[in-house]
Amino acid sequence: MKDRILMQQDVAGKRKELPEAIFASALMRRSLGFFLLLGLLIAASVSASGAINSMNLGAKYDATNSQITFRVYSSRATRIELYLYKTAFGAQEQVKYVMVKDAQNVWSKTASVSTLQNTYGITGTVYYGYRAWGPNWPYNAAWTKGSSTGFISDVDAQGNRFDPNKLLLDPYAVEISHDPTTPSQTNGVVYASGAINRNTDTGTLAPKGLVLPTDTTSIGVKPTRALKDDIIYEVHVRGLTQNDTSISAAFRGTYKGAGLKATYLASLGITAIEFLPVQETQNDTNDVVPNTTAGDNYWGYSTLNFFAPDRRYSSDKTAGGPTREFKAMVKSFHDAGIKVFTDVVYNHTGEGYAYNTNDITTYNLISWRGLDNPTYYSLTADFLSSWDNTGVGGNYNTRNIVAQNLIVDSLAYWRDALGTDGFRFDLASVLGNTCEHGCYNYDKLNANTALNRIPAELAPRPAAGGSGVDLIAEPWAIGGNSYQVGNFPAGWSEWNGIYRDTFRKAQNKLGVDPVTTGTLATRFAGSSDLYQDDGRKPWNSINFIVAHDGFTLKDLYSYNTKNNNQAWPYGASDGGEDNNLSWDQGNIAADQRRAARTGFAFLMLSAGTPMITGGDEYLRSLQGNNNGYNLDSIANWLNYTWDVDQTNFNTYAARLMAFRKAHPALRPVNFYSAIDNNGNVMEQLRWFKPDGNVADNAYFTDVNNHAIAYRIDGTEFADPNSAIYVAYNGWSGNVTFTLPWPGAGKNWYRVTDTSNWNEGANTVVVPGSEAFIGGEFTTYVLNGRAVLLLIAK
């Protein structure tokens, strides 16, 4: 039988970049009635919920470090034993204790530190795990490790999967000792149930929790910047510095190394760094077979523990080292004014799914499943199998209150203890599931979902900035009614996949997939059709053209199809989306660079919160691999040795980000409308046809139109010295734009034109050196597939 730990790769990295319906109206407005109703529902949820970690789960020292109390939840276990170890791997326990259950179904045991030291020889770090018995495997005093004594079935009609031969990791452990498989222990099937493996004891092999004293490492001062003012940089901790020769080899690919890039990222213009998953995942075996992708899990979307920072990314792997180093990294970013977001995965876990289709017996028992399977996982209606709405294993049971508690408790831990400023939620529609077992149904109105508990109990950051967390959803999953772009409740921002697809089509599918100028206008202006109806704002739209999951920015405009079946280090990778809305621009390098400049300009000149992916700022390429989930290689690590074109693009990106940050008119808190002193609605943005006339509905809805422009009056955004004019020519040929009024006594000056003729280090000019263009009615010829940015002075 093949190794399931190694086989259950990060299929989340393979999920599709889902195509989305396009809304045509640029001026869509909807009622706020839903928003008011949701506020009442969330208020009710707050009153019903308890304090963070109200059951005090986990393993903790007391105030004097003289006692350790272990507390773990199981509603179905009939017996749980605590096993304590002197070392993490290869040795038997030093002592075991029988735990006692209370009325809340919490099993607990308090151990004396002096007894552990003097009687049992545990004088250093305390490692621990649990063994559990239940209805499908009742306790029998004659049981010994590796025996089947007491066994009835691998799973019973209530979904119980207890197996005392499997040492179980505490779901609330704050660090873990090692991954289930390691270079010296590659046999993942030892964790399986079923006839072949149920009697295999994992006590000496299994990952164990570490008991840590309170850590006092500083996280610095958290930035309080409004999300609307952020520019997000999505990147992998390891990939950020693993190939950076300016950093000591000991720190490359680590939290320490990442913190050393804070100055660079701040100078680039980044205000929030979003790390791909940094909670523990199976990656100790990434390099077991050198120079191949065999068994590699690079992205990390199969979580083994929701509290523990991943040890692989720490240069200090001693007990408490990953926690200290992560916090020190956070401080480095905070000191540079940069928020730290982490990508979190609460829709499934690293325990995986059934070994074989229709096999109800053989599942891995590493943590949650062996403690309380029906509490922590959604199951089929007969409770015998996993319910899967993610394509990567059984759904985590986000409907169950105890499973929800773990989500909220771990988020609070990362926020409070580790200093994280915000979270991006993988396949976040699963958080809105209203059905525990046998079905799936997303409902944003239901206050009892994890989706609504999270903003109710972890206060979102206010629109104007301040304390709180930034909550960002990937608003889709797989199957059912899980595709929910624009349909998340108040308090949530979303990856706007419709924004992504609209601009990809506009650039790459002219004459193939029609995109109206009204659709373009809606996306430029913050996607009011998606977010306004439930009281959300333009900045709740996380605008992106590419993400880690798919083509890089350069490859989006350099390849017609994915190129995943290539040799190491750029492949091979399976899966990957086939419908990428990409185009190689006729394989003309200059046109590819222009397309990348234009795509980047869309992001920086749109209302909403822009997100770029690490390496986009210098046109990183994966040579057409659009699914690098398994590429823990030099190809997927960022490179800091650039050619002339990459250096020029880096300058272009930094200057355009600086322009965005300098002009609040590009970062509206509302949908470009305000109320004057007389109660009248003032439109703060006006749309123009190329001929200089105001665009009307007929122009917006005609699929034969591909050029649009807009003017924003900066005087209404605390930017009294300038108006901004942006024109986009989506045609393949030139279009002449007639410029609108720049303001009394002012003229238009060019900041950038993404056309081919304007390549080089000064594609975006430095402030004060803008080229004079002219006043009202001046004409400007804009090349095909280019963006023009003017400022009034």
Beta bridge partners of 275: 235, 342
Beta strands across the sheet bearing 79-85: 95-98, 79-85, 126-133, 209-211
Separation CA 530–CA 564 (nearest Å):
34
Amino acid, single-letter form, for residue 727: A
Separation CA 253–CA 283 (nearest Å):
13
Alpha carbon 633 to its chain centroid, in Å, reads 21
For 503, the 3-state DSSP assignment is helix
Among all chains, which residue has been given the structure tokens 């010296």? 184
Q: Determine which one of 296, 474, 577, 617 is catalytic.
A: 474
The neighbour count for residue 748, using CB atoms within 10 Å, is 28
Separation CA 607–CA 666 (nearest Å):
6
User: What are the strands, taking DSSP E only, across 255-301?
Assistant: 272-275
Separation CA 675–CA 683 (nearest Å):
9
CB 636 within 8 A of CB 732: no
Does 156 participate in catalysis according to the annotation? Answer: no
Helix (H) / strand (E) element for 259: namely: helix 255-259
Q: Determine which one of 280, 310, 426, 457 is catalytic.
A: 426
DSSP for 594-613 reads HHHHHHHHHHHTSSSEEEEE
Separation CA 390–CA 477 (nearest Å):
6
Q: Where does residue 280 rank: exposed (0-12), middle (13-18), buried (19+ CB within 10 A)?
A: buried
How are beta strands 100-101 and 95-98 bridged, if at all?
unpaired
Neighbouring residues of 258: CB distance < 8 A, sequence distance ≥ 6: 237, 240, 241, 273, 275, 313, 329
Alpha carbon 470 to its chain centroid, in Å, reads 12
Exposure b/e, 612-634, CB count within 10 A at least 16 = b: bbbbbbbbbbbbbbbbbbbbbbe
Separation CA 198–CA 353 (nearest Å):
16
Does 426 participate in catalysis according to the annotation? Answer: yes
Cα separations in angstroms, 551 against 243, 494, 545, 547: 20, 20, 10, 8
Left, alpha or beta for 587 (phi > 0: left; psi -120 to 50: alpha)?
Answer: left
Alpha helices in 605-691 (DSSP H): 644-662
- Cis link prior to 319 (omega < 30° from 0)? no
Structure token digits, residue 309? 């920072």
| Residues 641, 647, 650: CA angle, nearest 5 degrees | 110
By annotation, the residues acting in catalysis are: 426, 474
